[in-house]
Amino acid sequence: METLNAFDGTRLAAHRAGVGDPLICLPGGPMQASVYLDDLGGLSAHRELVRLDLRGTGDSAAPADQASYRCDQQVDDVEALRAHLGLERIDIAGHSAGGTLAVLYAARYPRRVGRLVLLNPSPRVVGLDIADADRREVAELRRGEEWFPAAFAAFERIWAGRGTAAEWGAVTPFSYRRWDAASQAAAAAERTLTNVDAAAVYYSAGAIDPHEVRSAVADLRVPVLLVAGEYDMGLPPKRAVEYAGLFPDAELVVAPGAGHFPWLDDPQWLVATLAAFLHRP
């Protein structure tokens, strides 16, 4: 672990692993400690992964100003990390809500970005609304799973506006390819690694202007790889096509049989896919 100071003096922690050129890894949650990304299924054999613990998570300190948990306020934390590493340009991988931060960074600092990897990114940053019908279509693909009846019934209650914390917990199996001991442990760890108060601020009012973001990424002249999971209801593959289409140079790949965490669901596929993209001339 190494530390650096953000522009407001908040102490941030970064964790390095692997060999090769650095790849900045931004966690989702939102506001989950970056340890859950691990080495992205073995990608550290191809690139040096630099995981940033966002302010108030993991080994990073909490800021004096709670409003700085807003995702747009954290863009300059990524810029501080770039400066700390002494790099003119950085390759970035953002997962889920971390994809939001990655896109906002690329919009604000386009000349500082080499390549951009969006792993199951949240569509909120570009104002892409996912309808319940889109999610239902993906959910139906899992009908053969033994956990499906209870989990789907919970989704029905959520879609009907009767969702509680219990219902949201019950639908967790949809996020994984296999609802086994490993994925259950990962889901349980997620709850302990998240700064709930910070997460409530991350997408708060004024944090994002989707129209401005769309305008900015339309002029982003860097290679972009968007990874969607075949079973991911956060960004169903057919809607991921729209997301990728907002960039002038983006490639969409769909992880077969994967949910929201492709490095857990099919690490070999993900590593091969990311390594090919990151090493492309």
The yes-or-no verdict on residue 22 having pLDDT over 90 is: yes
Strand partners, 229: 255
Tell me, what's the pLDDT at 93?
A: 98
The whole-angstrom separation of Cα 59 and Cα 33 is 8
Domain ranges of the chain: 2-127+195-278
Decide: 53 and 15 in contact? Cβ < 8 Å.
yes
Residue 38 backbone class (left: φ over 0; alpha: ψ -120 to 50; beta: rest): left
DSSP state string for 73-132: GGHHHHHHHHHHHT-SSEEEEEETHHHHHHHHHHHH-GGGEEEEEEES--GGGGT-PPPH
Distance from C-alpha of 14 to C-alpha of 78, rounded to nearest angstrom: 11
Measured from the Cβ of residue 160, the count of other Cβ atoms closer than 10 Å reads 9
- Report pLDDT for 204: 97
**What are the pLDDT digits (tens) for 207-242?**
999 999 999 999 999 999 999 999 999 999 999 999
Per residue in 252-273, pLDDT (tens digit) is 999 999 999 999 999 999 999 9
Q: Which tokens is 276 given?
A: 């090919």
- Distance between CA atoms of 253 and 226, rounded to whole angstroms? 6
CB 61 within 8 A of CB 55: yes
pLDDT band at 175 (very low <50, low <70, confident <90, very high): very high
Q: Yes or no: say if 145 and 137 are a contact pair by the CB < 8 Å rule.
A: no
C-alpha dist (Å) from residue 279 to 3, 38, 116, 125, 222 = 28, 21, 13, 27, 14
pLDDT at residue 281 above 90?
A: no
At 135, list the tokens: 């999610």
Report d(CA 159, CA 69) in Å as an integer: 29
Cβ contacts of 111 within 8 Å, gap of 6 or more: 89
What is the structure's pLDDT at 251?
98
Amino acid 260: pLDDT: 98
Task: Tell me yes or no: is domain 2-127+195-278 CATH 3.40.50.300.
Answer: no
CB 169 within 8 A of CB 184: no
